[in-house]
Amino acid sequence: MTTILDGKETTATVMDELTAEVEQLAAKGVTPGLALVLTGDDENSARYVRLKKKRAEKIGLYCEFHHLEKTTNKELVGLIEKLNKDPKIHGIMIQLPLAEGLDELKAVEAIAPEKDVDGQTPVTLGKILMGEECYLPGGVLAIMELFKRYDIDPNKKHWVIVGSSNFLSKPLAAYVMNLSSNVTQVDENCPHIAKRIKDADVISTEILKKHFVKPDMIKEGAIILDNGNVYEGKYVFGDVDPEVYEKTAAYTPVPGGTGPMLIAMLLKNTVKAASK
């Protein structure tokens, strides 16, 4: 029996729940506010941020989109500091990567930890490693949300996490270190990926190579969390070959797995920040 971890359906449920929560907050006179910051002129990034704004507004959030096409570190940090002080804003998210020449660490460091609703600051990443309460990055929260909704215990498992981004694989590994589980983190360019994942109960991939993971590479009954998104024209493919699916206990499809949940998780953290 294989369970499909349906990110689209779960997102719809979460969005309904959030709509109700936002209504309750409105009754208390609180409107959750989210500020989205984009640098540079990449059209795909701009489209994605506009989608975030649209979704936020759909569930009743107040949302500002600050698009700095040409900017400096000083101006960017200045904007973040202004947003930190703005009582209308409960959450701040900086779209990464930044435009060329800008200092990513300086920018994310400027976000006040209590408004860090996408888990981008060093403080938040450190708290994840320590096992302390904080806002998890969207990709990490999406995985934990799916485990919860599909009643899968993330404990007592051997996790293998392939990837090394600051927004998914490394914080996910740090989070799992605080569960009663083992975790192996493997660089996406490591020559021994196959050997490592053969041993895993849970496999999270962020390899960005179309259908890289084949059926003979995994253990029967493993859980697959496919975070690869390889675009070919208007199609998108995961790191995991769909032929793997029938060998798994549960898997996130691509498209329709963790991807659609990212925006909902950002909004969930923003509503939580506004509730405090």
The contact set with its own copies (CB under 8 A) reads 105, 121-130, 132, 158, 164, 166, 170-171, 173-174, 177-178, 180-187, 190, 192, 196
CB neighbours of residue 160 within 10 Å = 24
> Given the complex with its own copies, which of 87 and 191 has the nearer CB atom?
191
> Given the complex with its own copies, which of 97 and 126 has the nearer CB atom?
126
> Given the complex with its own copies, which of 11 and 124 has the nearer CB atom?
124
- In angstroms, the CA 276 to CA 109 distance is 22
For residues 226 and 247, the answer to whether their CB atoms sit within 8 Å is no
Shortest separation between residue 246's beta carbon and its own copies, angstroms: 27
State phi, psi for 249 to the nearest 5 degrees: -85, -30
Shortest separation between residue 177's beta carbon and its own copies, angstroms: 5
For residues 50 and 80, the answer to whether their CB atoms sit within 8 Å is no
Distance of CA 124 to the CA centre of its chain: 14
Shortest separation between residue 266's beta carbon and its own copies, angstroms: 19
> Given the complex with its own copies, which of 172 and 261 has the nearer CB atom?
172
Tell me the chain's radius of gyration from C-alpha atoms.
19
> Given the complex with its own copies, which of 14 and 186 has the nearer CB atom?
186
- In angstroms, the CA 270 to CA 89 distance is 9
Shortest separation between residue 194's beta carbon and its own copies, angstroms: 12
Shortest separation between residue 192's beta carbon and its own copies, angstroms: 7
Secondary structure of residue 93 in the 3-state scheme: strand
The amino acid sitting at 156 is K
